[in-house]
Chains A and B, each alone.
Chain A
Amino acid sequence: MKLIQVDPRLVHPSVMHTLVENSVKTAITRPVALFGSVRSLAAFAIIASDGAMTQEPTAKETRPSEPLTAPELVTFVSKIAEQRCKTSFQALFGYFAPRLKAYLMRLGSDADQAEELVQEAMIMVWRKAASFDASQAAVSTWIFTIARNKRIDAIRREKRPEIDLEDPALVPQSESLADDIIEEQQDARRLKAAISRLSSEQATLIKMAYFGDKAHGAIAEETGLPLGTVKSRLRLALGHLRKELKEGAP
């Protein structure tokens, strides 16, 4: 069932190109938020009010949200898990919901469907907060995967074969290596730096792999390159990104 998905080939190539180019430029020129340097209003409110709701919920929905830092996000999730803290939930909602909505719309959902999926995903965040494990992933990554899975369930109506970390058949990573890897993943600055070191063509290709379904075909059409060439360039770009991530490790 893929009736609802928008085929990027139906979008005029120049529109697609501009969309992607712009977001890549933003990615590269945007200043990197250092941990603790930008304290969002939502985070501030929670500290100031000690859990009491002092803000109008609707005000937060429309206010452009500042990036939340990774430690703030972890605090919100654990307050949801331990205290069922709605103020923390509002902070996460205020920051992530509009972004998830934009992400889903970029992938072809209409506004109504995106809205509904985001609501479902955020309710999942509330429900599953206690199973969030900060040693396994960053909060933003965890929420991204929740929304991704909601989309697969709802739109593609397919099963998603998942890797189960408790699977007795799992071949484990050696402990020390595992710790290194998780630390690397959680360093958002390093991730952004690695992305910014890619050429703009490579960054575009990678972005298409995330935001455009049937992306390969669309790029091939747009650039006039054979599909095989697009695939091999994407492979190079992804390999390059992983290499940058490894080399940028402290």
Chain B
Amino acid sequence: MTSPSIHGRDGSNDTLPTNHVTDELLAAYAAGNLSEAQSLLVATHSALCPECRAAIAEFEAVGASFLEEIAPESMRAGSLDSVLARLDQEEMPANNVVQHPSSYSAPDRQIGEVLLPQPLRGYVGSDLRDVTWRPVIRGLEEAELKVSGPEFNVRLIKVAAGAAMPQHSHQGEELTLVLTGAYQDGSGRFARGDVQIADGDVDHQPTAEPDEACVCLIITDAPIKLTGRLGRLLNPFIRY
């Protein structure tokens, strides 16, 4: 497999992800019960994965089917009337403009840059050149993303072509989504759109493939634990 180039709607050679988010995450996203951080990862993966988009639509339909059987709660008397009155105000011309999908304007892009899926663009910008990277260790840079909710740390990491992350395990759960390039660890190969879910049972050393830097979106709910010989000494300095 070659590394993915630009992905677009008309691209017939889009590589489909082979490592997906879990059904629980998809169902919770559909139900609206997922944190913003996890929603960001699920939505970004699903933009790149038609299978998971279909699953979300399915789980939304399941949610809707529960509405049919729920015991209704009466609306307050006069509720409909007050809504109908508000609809009349809606008829002002300014509010009556319907946004058609065709009016969507795609950001300009140039050959060689990787277009980020829409859910991420709200946090990062339209492509990876907009990111301000902070060096962490040799071959590894990161950029923290501002996402509400204190429970998760959300960041982009960039592993230089051929570079290895320090060997580490996890105290909580770590969700990794590959945006560009690819990496391998003991359990397999992860390329654009692929998700890896790692917890305390996973002790790995992800290594970027030699031809291209690998950029990933990473969500963690607890600091990682460095397990390599040198890494153990660094543990006190690692936040996530």
Complex interface: stretch among B80-88, B159-167, B225-233: B80-88
Are B117 and A169 neighbours in the complex by a CB distance under 8 Å? yes
Mask of B61-103 contacts with A, CB within 8 angstroms, 1/0? 1111111111111111111111110110011000100111100
Contact of B64 among A67, A101, A141, A171 (CB under 8 A): A141
Q: How far is the CB of A242 from chain B (nearest CB, A)?
A: 7
Q: Which residue of A lies closest to B76 (CB)?
A: A115
Q: What residues of chain B lie closer than 8 Å to A101, measured between beta carbons?
A: 72-75
A218 located at the interface, meaning its Cβ lies under 8 Å from any Cβ of chain B in the complex: no
Mask of B199-237 contacts with A, CB within 8 angstroms, 1/0? 000000000000000000000000000000000000000
A39 located at the interface, meaning its Cβ lies under 8 Å from any Cβ of chain B in the complex: no
Are A93 and B80 neighbours in the complex by a CB distance under 8 Å? yes
Say yes or no: A123-B82 contact (C-beta < 8 A), given A61-B74, A210-B66.
no
Contact of A61 among B62, B80, B117, B147 (CB under 8 A): B80
Q: What residues of chain B lie closer than 8 Å to A164, measured between beta carbons?
A: 47, 104, 118-119
Are A123 and B47 neighbours in the complex by a CB distance under 8 Å? no
B116 located at the interface, meaning its Cβ lies under 8 Å from any Cβ of chain A in the complex: yes
A89 located at the interface, meaning its Cβ lies under 8 Å from any Cβ of chain B in the complex: yes
Rounded to whole angstroms, the CA-CA distance of A106 and B149 in the bound complex is 23
B49 located at the interface, meaning its Cβ lies under 8 Å from any Cβ of chain A in the complex: yes
Mask of B91-128 contacts with A, CB within 8 angstroms, 1/0? 10001001111001011010000011111101000000
A-side interface mostly: helix
Q: How many residues of A contact B (CB 8 A)?
A: 96
Q: Which residue of B lies closest to A168 (CB)?
A: B106
Interface residues of A in 61-99 (CB under 8 A from B): 61-62, 64-65, 67, 84, 86, 89-90, 93-94, 96-99
Say yes or no: A140-B33 contact (C-beta < 8 A), given A61-B79, A163-B118.
no
Say yes or no: A127-B80 contact (C-beta < 8 A), given A163-B53, A231-B24.
no
Are B54 and A173 neighbours in the complex by a CB distance under 8 Å? yes
Are B8 and A168 neighbours in the complex by a CB distance under 8 Å? yes
Give 12 CB contacts A-B under 8 Å: A99-B72, A115-B75, A148-B32, A168-B109, A185-B61, A191-B65, A192-B65, A210-B27, A210-B63, A215-B33, A231-B24, A238-B59
Binding site for B on A (CB under 8 A): 23, 26-27, 30, 57-58, 60-62, 64-65, 67, 84, 86, 89-90, 93-94, 96-103, 105-106, 111, 114-115, 118-119, 122-123, 126-127, 130-131, 136-138, 140-141, 143-145, 148-149, 151-152, 156-174, 177-178, 181-182, 184-186, 188, 191-192, 195, 206-207, 209-211, 213, 215, 231, 234-235, 238-239, 241-242, 245
